[in-house]
């Protein structure tokens, strides 16, 4: 545990989900692969669709609707509809296909293994202070079996612009009825979590479980209050 700024005892904590509370890397790879297979299998005309085709359509959806980047679920759905239409299928059929493929996506997306340490730490913290989850992604806290530790789960898209924008941090502070600087946000991303939290007035904890170097990290913008390599270091702050 390393301290870079003086820290107040947190009255609440907010948590990023992916790669903060569990390792999400393999989950994403598997999810993308299974989702693509489901797309190819949905209609013969989609059998030769490639991941590059998907990326190209995804980009054109973004160019058409720039605000969609704040809602990765809506973005994926719109990309699938557009992609299915691009092989000559009508809109109605494209919407049905996209809905089915999204069902496959959601099944795999929240299949992450939650380490025992995460359960232990969240249970211990939640017994003392309120916890809020703040995610840019579309993992489902209920399906992951961790929703009960949080008094609120906020998602980019339905609840506001994606981190590092301040929307979700502001909603969290309002929900907690706490001054932002009494809340500690914990996350693995130096921009969305550390910079985003600090600009919103929160205290920030960077979880660095892959031995990165803060000073040489290309995405480092602002110094967090502290850096930890294991989630269970947080229990010593209370």
Distance, in Å, from the CA atom of 15 to the CA atom of 155, rounded to the nearest integer, reads 12
Distance, in Å, from the CA atom of 162 to the CA atom of 168, rounded to the nearest integer, reads 7
Nearer to Mg ion, 19 or 227 (CB): 19
Nearer to Mg ion, 83 or 162 (CB): 162
Burial of 236 (0-12, 13-18, 19+ CB in 10 A): exposed
* Closest distance of CB 210 from Mg ion, Å: 12
* Closest distance of CB 136 from Mg ion, Å: 8
Q: Is 144 in the site for Mg ion (CB under 5 A)?
A: no
Interhelix angle 25-42/72-86, rounded to 10 degrees, is 30
**Region of 10-18, 38-46, 87-95, 197-205 interacting with Mg ion (CB under 5 A):** 10-18
Distance, in Å, from the CA atom of 116 to the CA atom of 136, rounded to the nearest integer, reads 24
Q: Which of 138, 127, 202 is nearest to 154 (CA)?
A: 138
Q: Is 159 in the site for Mg ion (CB under 5 A)?
A: no
Nearer to Mg ion, 19 or 159 (CB): 19
* Closest distance of CB 187 from Mg ion, Å: 6
Q: Is 188 in the site for Mg ion (CB under 5 A)?
A: yes
Kindly state the tokens that stand for 223.
Answer: 């110094």
Q: Is 53 a catalytic residue?
A: no
Greatest C-alpha distance within the chain: 60
- The only residue of 16, 159, 167, 227 in contact with Mg ion, by rule CB under 5 A: 16
Give the residues lining the site for Mg ion (CB under 5 A).
16, 18-20, 188
**Active-site residue numbers?**
16
């Amino acid at each position: 545990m390393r301290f870079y700024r003086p820290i107040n005892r947190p009255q609440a904590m907010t948590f990023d989900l992916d790669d903060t509370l569990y390792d999400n890397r393999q989950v994403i790879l598997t999810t993308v692969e299974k989702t693509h297979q489901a797309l190819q299998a949905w209609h013969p005309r989609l059998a030769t669709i490639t991941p590059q085709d998907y990326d190209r359509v995804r980009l054109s959806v973004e160019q058409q609707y720039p605000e969609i980047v704040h809602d990765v679920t809506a973005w994926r759905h719109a990309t699938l509809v557009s992609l299915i239409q691009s092989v000559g299928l009508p809109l109605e059929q494209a919407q049905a296909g996209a809905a089915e493929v999204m069902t496959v996506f959601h099944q795999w997306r929240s299949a992450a293994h939650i380490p025992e340490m995460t359960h232990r730490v969240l249970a211990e913290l939640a017994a003392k202070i309120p916890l809020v989850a703040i995610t840019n992604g579309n993992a489902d806290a209920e399906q992951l079996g961790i929703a009960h530790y949080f008094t609120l789960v906020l998602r980019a898209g339905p609840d506001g612009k994606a981190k590092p924008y301040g929307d979700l941090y502001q909603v969290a502070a309002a929900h907690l009825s706490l001054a932002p600087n009494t809340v500690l946000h914990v996350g693995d991303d130096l921009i969305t979590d550390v910079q985003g939290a600090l600009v919103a007035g929160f205290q920030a904890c960077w979880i660095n479980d892959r031995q990165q170097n803060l000073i040489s990290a290309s995405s480092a913008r602002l110094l967090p209050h502290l850096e930890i390599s294991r989630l269970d270091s947080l229990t010593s702050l209370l």
